Structure 1
Amino acid sequence: MSLLLRWFICGAALLGSATAAVAQSAAPDAPTRTARPGVLVFRLKAAPADAGQPRRPGPVALPAALSTTFKVFGATARPKFPQAAAPTAARRQAGAVDLGLVYELTLPAGTSPAQLRQRLLKSGLVEYAEPLYDYRPLQLPNDPRADTTGTGEQYHLKKIRAYQAWDVTKGDTSIVIGIADGGTRFTHEDLAGKNQLNRADPIDGLDNDGDGYTDNYYGWDFADHDNDPERARNPTDLTHGVMVTGVAAAATNNGLGGASVGYLSRYMPLKIYPSTPQGSFGGYEAIVYAAEHGCQVINLSWGGPGAPSRFEQEVIDYAALNHDVVVVAAAGNTPQDLDFYPASYQHVLSVAMTARTDVRSSVGTFSYRVDLSAPGEGIVTTLGITDTDYTRTGGSSFAAPQVAGVAALVRSRFPGYNAAQVAAQIRRTTDFIDNLPGNVAYAGRLGSGRLNAFRAVTEQPYSARVVARTASPDRTYYGPADTLRLAVRVQNLLRELPGLTVTLTSLSPYLTVRQGEFSTGALATLAEAGNAAAPFQLAVVAEGVPLNTRAVLRYRLHHEASGYSEDQYETLLLNPDFVVLDANNLRLTLTSRGNLGYEATNPSLGEGISYRQGPPLLAEGGLLLATSAQRLASNVRNDQRGTDADFVSQAQVRRLPAAGPADQRAEGRLRELLPPENPRAVGVALRQQATARAAAPHQNYVLLEYQLTNLTADTLRPLHLGLFMDWDLPDDPARNVARWDAARHLGYVFDAPETIFAGVQHLAGGQPSVFSLDNSADAPAGPVRLNDGFSRTEKWLTLSSGTTNATAGPPTGTDAAQVVGAALPYLAPADSVTVAFAVLAAPSLTELQAAADAASAGYQQVPTAIRPAALAGVRLYPNPTAGPVRLELPATDGATVRVLSVLGRQLATYHFRQATASLDLSGYPAGVYLLRVETSAGAATYRVLKRP
């Protein structure tokens, strides 16, 4: 992802009354999540053999093509988790992940992470490539007056019925809770002796247990990369981890301080915030370590809103699925309905915070991804500045460890339960709070209810869960009037269910469920059932769907006779700001601002350009429009390490009904930002149209048509429009070759082994132009050097240089890009002109050329038979033609025939008196021409396609 998101520590130290707790626990305005400079994380695609066979221990080797690319860039790749074991066959079938495929990439100074990230994504060798994020902790007050609270103030223990739960089970010292946070204080009177020790690796300077961590006897510091997980002993260092630990696992019944929910359970301190300038956030590395070192529960009291990360989800999956860990996370302190990560990831118990009265805390996050709630205001716990201090604090940071403590109790009470069953047991035994007056407005968004420890360790509830879903069509979004089907699999997690009905309901007025129910029959514990034979059927309304709507679906799992009912939620994106044409072999994304493939280079905003469901072919695509270097607009990269955004949408790009031979059509309108906002504006509005056809020979291209309208009071002379296409063809984007087919007006790129070809063809409007570019770091000196940016002067050169720079990369290939454009001699005020291109792909040059020929004919839609005349007695054939055109003229006193370009420029004039005549267009370049026939009976204009 390329957007910087705002992440926050989920708790704040709040002193004094509960009122003060509410007032001070809101998230700060400053963003706390930043991409680590010069670092990426990526995951290799698993080889086909990996799917069903175990692989050798250790990380998967890098493909040679990637090693070569990294060498060119001076980048260094290393396994992110070199000690991670490959999942067993059984775990793999359950969705476990192989972290041996994950690598961290360090870039040299001055190298653009975005550029290398795109290179990785387009190589076809990686599943994802993302920034690696660091998180700045929210600093906490350290006023020593906060250290005293008196006794009997741990109201949350009574609220969640912890005392009664302890009468049933006090947990067990074999149950370890991993606390991935700010470190611990081993000598605190209420934490001393409660931490888990790694007795297999005593402190002697050796890695005795061979786990890759030397002397990790007490735990590990993933921020400063050493074996000391204790918070630094200074009054300004973070005490957040000590406070969280106190809630989950402080010593209980020791006559000192307070009690922890986990009672006898132990904790593993995993320090993830740095105490040195050289340190960096280590939260996800700590999760992997905790899972591999025996933690049955992991608490994550940190996170923030925004988009999810595939890398982070995989780390969660590794803990939950590979190692059967219950992962608990705070839902956040942002008082909004939003997704909050890591709490909102799959396989995480997301915990929201409530006030003393069980109503939603006014500073707490709420959403349909929340699993349950717990008290989060005025929580008394260890502080950690001294060995005897305590504080009253608040935030979802301190609601989550209560759930982690209960998870430890449940694991002790029901040792046969797996992690998913433990989570289900806790969800299904909460106290219902949605009907409280303060919670009615948030019904369904505070989870199943408020935590109840006693019920969690005593009851035997029913619980089922939707564990898999398959959508058809399988998309990341759905547009107006789209229909889809959902096949789901449901697993019974707890006691045997005598029967189960699954009902799907849409909570959005823009999404309708047409068929939304199925029954499973009786389900044994851990048995599964699905509706693949009769999937749910849904439809998006045809009109009025707001842009980028998030529609919530509710799965209600219920059995009427037993009274069992449980809800689960899913979100679908409707009406996004782009469309994907996929009617044929070419899958192409068109955005409302005129980008191709993606909005700028953000892979989350678009689905790229691909061929036959293969890897993406394009890193970046967009528009260039100019009359000079001073008057130029674009929506592609610039020379300021950013992207130009000179075009704005006037009408969202949208699908149109199929018409004529077109199986798919899309249309949108955009214009430039105008003065004074953009003093360099050309002054043109554009209507963009895209057309895809499925039938042969049209299956390998998509037509793009741009209607340009002059908004100024002056004639624009000259006017250039071009498509910038940074192709990255697999398997090695550094070995692509760019060429120009002058006869077809076709600029194309192919890989050095010549297994895939892609390009842009100019079809109509103005004179064609092409400029092939070398995008590599070691590109030779020339008029345009993309590696250090794309300046306005360079953009103008690519548009205005005709076809003099037609090739790049031969003989061995390079990182190639092209600008294919059209030069229009003029555009008068208020006039419009249409420029047309085709985007094509094929597995061979012959097939690409055939696609280009089909695109020429397909764009004109001129039949091969004689077209009925618009002027009585006039006929022209053959059309299309290789040169000769036969004319039948009315028997009058003669006819004048003018040959015009598509822009209306007169090329030749002929006078005929006979009834039949011939024209020869062999001397003209391939393209579309207008023949204007004038007789005494009137005049008519005919379009003729001249083939190469």
Structure 2
Amino acid sequence: MRLSGTLFWRQAGFALCLLVLGLPLASWGQAPQKTVQAGRVVIKLAPAYVATAPSALPALQAALRHLAAEPLQRKFPHSTPPPTDLPGAVDLALVYEVRIPVNIPVEEACRQLQKTGVVEYAEPLYYYPPLLQTSDPLADSTRAGGQYHLKNIRAYRAWDVTQGDTAITIAIVDGGTRLTHEDLASQVQRNRRDLPDGLDNDQDGYVDNYTGWDFADNDNDPVREANSVHGILVAGCAAAATNNAKGIAGVGYRCRFLPLKIYSSTRTGSFGGYEAIVYAADHGCQIINLSWGAPGGFSRFEQDVIKYAAINHDAVIIAAAGNTGADLDFYPASYEHVVSVATLTPSDERSTNATFSRRVDLSAPGTQILTTFGNTDTDYIAVGGSSFAAPLVAGAAGLVRTRFPRYNAAQVAAQLRRTTDNIDALPGNAAYAGRIGSGRLNALRAVTEANQHSARIIGRTYSPARRSYAPGDTLRLTVQVQNLLQPLSNLAVTVTSLSPYVLVRQGSFAVGPLVTLEQRANSTAPFRLTVAAGTPLNTKAVLRYRLQDAATGYQEDQYETVLLNPDYVVLNAGNLALTLTSRGNIGYDGLGSDAGEGVSYRQGPPLLAEGGLLIATSATRVSDNVRNERRGADTDFWTLTRAQLRAQPLRADQEANSLFQDSLPSLTRGRTVGVRVRQHAYAWAAAPHHNYVILEYRLTNLTADTLKPLHVGLFMDWDLPGEASRNVVAWDGARRLQYLFDPAAPRLYTGVQHLAGGQPSAYAINNQAPASSPVYLANGFSSAEKFMTLSSGTQQAQLTTETDASQVTGAVLPPLAPADSALVAFAVLAAPTLTQLETAAAAAATRYQQVLPVRPVRSAGLMVYPNPTNRFAQLILPQVPATVEVFSVVGQLLSSQLVTAPQAQLDLRACPAGLYIVRVQTQNQHYSVRVEKQ
């Protein structure tokens, strides 16, 4: 069926459009960035608390009081419960929004809430910009009929088969609309159950939501915000009135659109993209278009919202892949259950500014797209960008849902992917094959080819389950496959590595026959993969799943990315698993980073929010890579040799090392220290050494001056399970051990012990201290505060009041001359009881002296005689005062005494026959010697 009306471009008002938009043409192509919204945090309660009101969770309430948060509100109070028989469905009733004062850092609030132990996640809420990019306005004069893209995607022929249906609604989650535009007015999906009368007639929680909703300003007016027509442009592409003898034609033909405004018209509003997605799903929108986004990290909250719409409510979600011109993940387009759409030119070649990646599903025209403008009721404009490629696919999805009403959302997406025209061979696309999706949208094929085949990998499980894998690792990969379209006779899945750094040892899965929507997994014979030796740092390896059925001729590829050889190591030989980065951070590569596997005990929950090495000589001369007072992190250390596990450890079950340094103070105006650090780590599997990891640092002075004083320590912000604000910090001076626990429910003890190098120091930090406190972590961690925690000795080593706490355990070293080196060592420990923690500390001290390098006794002037002995042993000391300690061979401290004379006597009469370790600690050195009692 052909259009009876004439397509045309009305130029009235075009000369004014660039002034109204207020943006120079060149600026529209810049890659957008998502930003954190101040004063807002979203949390999801752990599934165990599904039947528990937040008010009945003391740990959560304590954290909310500390943050001066407003009363907790359900993020989606009108969301529907998940079907019990629907795998992967999401329960949004567990999601709450936390409103906090805007002066409290959002990242700090997330950390406090995560520490309660009752939330699955605590995350910021982000603002995502729209993806707008104009093209040359004069280019329209060269295009017959104005809308070239309708020919390219075969829309005219598709409309001969189906014109969509007014019962199909496409949610335009964007910047609002113009309700009176000649090509949009008749296309708005109106809620006739809630006529505008000031009442919530349909009792859905929204008053007078007759023509949509404004989620940015929380009102019922979805009309566009000032100086923005983005939502109008997008709506025209997908759903402009067709065959009305006016303006343009929307791909969806008869399909309606629901305007959901997500950008604020007021100073008090906020971005409402994900709230609008839930509303669209709850209100029956079969298709949801998202022409906005940004590069950036994965958000579990955002993925939950996507799953709620796609799985719980069977909505097809279409999103713009972005205008970055780069190979990267772009969100929300890169989330699971989203059809990601990249941009093409009129010649079907990739637009130079189009994002490309293995996560792109298909491409569509996105340059010189003629659509509704919206400054008046009769204006149109040619625009470009993935914002306008995505709604073409959304309109086509409306046609497919009309033509195949029994298809679920996943099947509609599969039909769109499988009926594209392959364009990989075009000159502008050859270099991007596999990264611009399956091809260019073909609406005709999508609504006519009912015999398509498509299977999909819908689940993956790695064993061991890690965020990344190191050279030499062998892993097993179990996949869940589902057939989405026509029955398959003998499906086979083959996994191939597109990276030379992943070796596939077993990559075949004979799935066999599958009827429509049937699933099967290779649980009995998982794929086996090995990470190659010599894999470069932070390699992202791509795995290709090839799904084939020889009987039907079906073949389709799917891709996945695996992180290899990250810039950290995990020491997990014993009960304590500890991530150590190449630059001295512990747990993660900074607060809020997902680079790292944290610190955990017996594969339990994460125990540490942030940890790292601190080195200082004054309040202004501090080097570290931990948080600062500027809502960021210091980056003083840089890698010389990355952290790696030794293939053949010599002195422990696991050994790791790295080399890093800071800058010379002459290059940083005296802000840094000027040292090179050789970092070693040791871990053991057997008791009593399985509850600690030893960290050793050898510092070399790179400056021309003697470093004095020189302070070194570990900052550890613990997150113990349970009540975050109910911890205390204790100091055991005899063992030089500073540890933290919950006295009301002491399920786990964690801490740091000074093993060697200089005199110990320890400082306990109250994370909930008022702003007047010497250390106020709520607004960050300044250099002056870091120096204070390192240089205060042990006077502030304890916190007896229950609170949320951190610790800095360190040492003050003797003056370090130019080019000289000094060594300091610590043990990081965890145990379920204090007795076990003390046993681990004693074992760590003994093991360090026995096994790891120490100063030879022969050259130290230390003498112990007679040896062996049956009662007493005489000591001649090289320096006094000195602390003399006697340990059993399993590391138990038996005695400790302070000696002030150069000669002393050890009384071993009460000790049974056997071998003992005598350790002597002076101001500058430590020595150890074995003594046998007969």
Matched, 1:463 2:458: no
Displacement of 1:475 in angstroms is: 0.9
**Aligned to 1:89, what secondary structure does the other structure show?**
coil
* Number of aligned residue pairs: 882
Deviates more, 1:456-465 or 1:380-389: 380-389
Between the aligned partners of 2:216 and 2:501, the Cα distance in structure 1 is 46
Gaps of 5+ in 2: 1-12, 17-23, 885-897, 911-915
Displacement of 1:476 in angstroms is: 0.9
Q: Deviations over 1:575-623 (max 9, x none)?
A: 2222222222212111122111222212312222222222222222122
1:230 match = 223
2:281 match = 291
Between the aligned partners of 1:876 and 1:645, the Cα distance in structure 2 is 51
Q: TM-score, normalised by structure 2?
A: 0.88
Between the aligned partners of 1:876 and 1:493, the Cα distance in structure 2 is 82
2:93 match = 100
1:481 match = 472
Displacement of 1:789 in angstroms is: 4.3
8 Å Cα contact 2:131-2:292 kept in structure 1: no
User: Match for 2:58: what amino acid?
Assistant: A
Displacement of 1:255 in angstroms is: 1.8
Between the aligned partners of 1:492 and 1:46, the Cα distance in structure 2 is 30
**Aligned to 2:414, what secondary structure does the other structure show?**
helix
Q: Deviations over 1:94-143 (max 9, x none)?
A: 20111111111111243222222111222222222222112344677799
Between the aligned partners of 2:773 and 2:358, the Cα distance in structure 1 is 55
2:833 match = 844
Change (3 A) 1:676 1:28: farther
Between the aligned partners of 2:622 and 2:145, the Cα distance in structure 1 is 71
Displacement of 1:786 in angstroms is: 3.9
8 Å Cα contact 1:25-1:333 kept in structure 2: no
Q: Deviations over 1:201-223 (max 9, x none)?
A: 11111111121111101110112
Displacement of 1:897 in angstroms is: 7.8
Change (3 A) 1:286 1:782: closer
8 Å Cα contact 1:60-1:101 kept in structure 2: no
1:116 match = 109
**Aligned to 2:488, what secondary structure does the other structure show?**
coil
User: Match for 1:123: what amino acid?
Assistant: T
Change (3 A) 1:285 1:876: farther
Q: Map 1:39-58 onto structure 2 (within 5 A).
A: 39-47=40-48, 50=50
User: Match for 1:41: what amino acid?
Assistant: V
8 Å Cα contact 1:666-1:689 kept in structure 2: yes
From 530, 540, 545, the counterpart of 2:531: 540
8 Å Cα contact 2:34-2:293 kept in structure 1: no
Deviates more, 1:472-481 or 1:273-282: 273-282
Matched, 1:159 2:152: yes
User: Match for 1:196: what amino acid?
Assistant: Q
Displacement of 1:660 in angstroms is: 4.5
8 Å Cα contact 1:237-1:275 kept in structure 2: no
**Aligned to 2:306, what secondary structure does the other structure show?**
helix
Matched, 1:764 2:759: no
From 505, 508, 515, the counterpart of 1:517: 508
Matched, 1:34 2:35: yes
Change (3 A) 1:30 1:434: closer
Between the aligned partners of 2:561 and 2:55, the Cα distance in structure 1 is 37
Change (3 A) 1:906 1:531: same
From 701, 713, 717, the counterpart of 2:692: 701
Q: Deviations over 1:565-584 (max 9, x none)?
A: 10000001112222222222
Q: Map 1:302-317 onto structure 2 (within 5 A).
A: 302-317=292-307
Between the aligned partners of 1:533 and 1:141, the Cα distance in structure 2 is 53
8 Å Cα contact 2:38-2:105 kept in structure 1: no
Displacement of 1:909 in angstroms is: 5.7
Matched, 1:192 2:182: no
Change (3 A) 1:946 1:462: farther
1:82 match = 77
8 Å Cα contact 2:131-2:293 kept in structure 1: no
Displacement of 1:719 in angstroms is: 2.3
Between the aligned partners of 1:379 and 1:64, the Cα distance in structure 2 is 55
Displacement of 1:415 in angstroms is: 1.2
Between the aligned partners of 2:738 and 2:243, the Cα distance in structure 1 is 78
From 715, 719, 723, the counterpart of 1:724: 715
Displacement of 1:918 in angstroms is: 7.2
2:892 match = none
Q: Map 1:247-646 onto structure 2 (within 5 A).
A: 247-459=237-449, 460-543=451-534, 545-646=535-636
1:737 match = 728
Between the aligned partners of 1:883 and 1:282, the Cα distance in structure 2 is 79
**Aligned to 2:496, what secondary structure does the other structure show?**
strand
User: Match for 2:554: what amino acid?
Assistant: Y
From 53, 58, 71, the counterpart of 2:65: 71
Displacement of 1:28 in angstroms is: 4.2
Change (3 A) 1:453 1:723: same
**Aligned to 1:520, what secondary structure does the other structure show?**
strand
8 Å Cα contact 1:746-1:760 kept in structure 2: yes
8 Å Cα contact 1:15-1:146 kept in structure 2: no
Q: Deviations over 1:169-198 (max 9, x none)?
A: 212111111111121222222122211111
Between the aligned partners of 1:514 and 1:541, the Cα distance in structure 2 is 12
Between the aligned partners of 1:921 and 1:148, the Cα distance in structure 2 is 105
Displacement of 1:522 in angstroms is: 0.8
Between the aligned partners of 2:281 and 2:872, the Cα distance in structure 1 is 76
8 Å Cα contact 2:28-2:134 kept in structure 1: no
Between the aligned partners of 1:381 and 1:441, the Cα distance in structure 2 is 31
1:858 match = 847
Displacement of 1:153 in angstroms is: 2.0
Q: Deviations over 1:807-841 (max 9, x none)?
A: 1133xx01222211122223333332221111111
Displacement of 1:803 in angstroms is: 1.9
User: Match for 1:546: what amino acid?
Assistant: P
Q: TM-score, normalised by structure 1?
A: 0.87
8 Å Cα contact 2:415-2:452 kept in structure 1: yes
User: Match for 1:757: what amino acid?
Assistant: Y
Change (3 A) 1:650 1:517: same
8 Å Cα contact 2:917-2:928 kept in structure 1: no
**Aligned to 1:131, what secondary structure does the other structure show?**
strand
Change (3 A) 1:137 1:374: closer
**Aligned to 1:198, what secondary structure does the other structure show?**
coil
From 733, 739, 742, the counterpart of 1:748: 739
Between the aligned partners of 2:775 and 2:248, the Cα distance in structure 1 is 69
Between the aligned partners of 1:489 and 1:784, the Cα distance in structure 2 is 51
**Aligned to 1:377, what secondary structure does the other structure show?**
coil
2:165 match = 172
Gaps of 5+ in 1: 1-12, 17-22, 888-895, 912-916, 932-940
Displacement of 1:547 in angstroms is: 2.4
**Aligned to 1:499, what secondary structure does the other structure show?**
strand
8 Å Cα contact 2:712-2:811 kept in structure 1: yes
Between the aligned partners of 1:197 and 1:883, the Cα distance in structure 2 is 96
Over the aligned positions, Cα root-mean-square deviation in angstroms equals 3.5
Between the aligned partners of 2:48 and 2:466, the Cα distance in structure 1 is 24
1:804 match = 795
Displacement of 1:787 in angstroms is: 4.2
User: Match for 1:527: what amino acid?
Assistant: E
Between the aligned partners of 1:31 and 1:437, the Cα distance in structure 2 is 28
8 Å Cα contact 1:376-1:395 kept in structure 2: yes
**Aligned to 1:438, what secondary structure does the other structure show?**
coil
